[in-house]
Amino acid sequence: MTQLPPLNGLRAFEVAGRHLNFRAAADELRVTQGAVAQQVRQLEAHLGMQLFERLPKGLAFTSSGRSYHLNVAAAFETLRRATNDLKPEPGKILVSVTPTFAAKWLIPNLPDFSAKHPEIDLRILATEKVSSFHGDGIDLAIRQGEPPFGAALDAYRLFPQEVIAVAAPSLVEEQAFPLDADAISQLPKLHDAHDLWPDFLGLLNVEDKGGHGLRMSQTALAVDAALSGQGVALVSRFLVEAEIAANRLFQVTPETMSGKQDFYLLVARKSTHINAIDAAVKWFLAQAQK
């Protein structure tokens, strides 16, 4: 054991090598960026050679570092598999989703999943951070983005990014539908972290004359504010279809805005408890098609 390199350094090197970025590795390991960089430096000092080239916007392997990383990553994967084989949980699936997706789509649809798959314990990790299949132990992830997502992941498109403007009847009850561009310009806007209003108003060719509006960190909060009549929110259509069908929200203008940030279901290609994951993937795809 005395001839082994420091294990913390190996772990930091393995994660940093997957991301080629100390900051992303620190997020996965839940330590500081400086701690990851220091552990890698200690490993390099132990080995007597440089493993990474430090670049202004990330890292690059040295020739020795690349071949070493292949072996180190394989060793950690062997350890992970051995642990999973020791304590298998074939009926448990951990899915990572954003808080908005969880609140506005997944949770309302969970009764259907539970009825069809009572043998599967579906657990939800709602976070804005990019979860790690290895570090966080997740089995499935749903994220907005554009392929490819990585050679080790299979990606299935669930929903296109079709952004619409919605408001509660109480906000626009005295106006005729659909609202014209000038009327929308005058209404208070609800902003979230995606900051889509400038592009949407550009699509309508109008300026915002509705004041500062509310600014929130999540789309789910903007939707809740819209439901209470506080303004107009921009949101992907599938997230508010139930609210529109129940007349709790109205699409205030027929114009929609598309983008490349579609919603994808991601699954690791070398997954354990395959049967449960396959069943969950099929359910997500079938439910999305409805």
Which SS3 state, helix, strand or coil, does residue 151 take? coil
Dist CA 201 CA 181 (whole Å): 8
Dist CA 4 CA 10 (whole Å): 10
Dist CA 155 CA 269 (whole Å): 10
268 vs 189, 196, 271, 282, CA distance in Å? 39, 31, 6, 15
Dist CA 55 CA 241 (whole Å): 46
Which residues lie closer than 8 Å to 214 by C-beta, 6 or more apart? Answer: 188, 190, 191, 222, 225, 230, 231
Dist CA 176 CA 254 (whole Å): 13
pLDDT the model gives residue 90: 65
pTM over 0.85: no
Dist CA 190 CA 184 (whole Å): 12
Q: pLDDT tens across 41-54, in order?
A: 999 999 999 999 99
Backbone angles phi, psi at 128, to 5 degrees: -85, -15
Domains of the chain: 7-86 (1.10.10.10), 92-157+261-289 (3.40.190.10), 162-258 (3.40.190.10)
Show the low-confidence residues of the chain (pLDDT under 50).
none
pLDDT the model gives residue 86: 67
Q: How many CA atoms lie within 13 A of 86 on its CB side?
A: 6
Chain-centroid distance of CA 110 in Å reads 19
Q: List, in sequence order, every residue forming a beta bridge with 262; answer none if it has no partner.
A: 145
Q: pLDDT tens across 8-35, in order?
A: 999 999 999 999 999 999 999 999 999 9
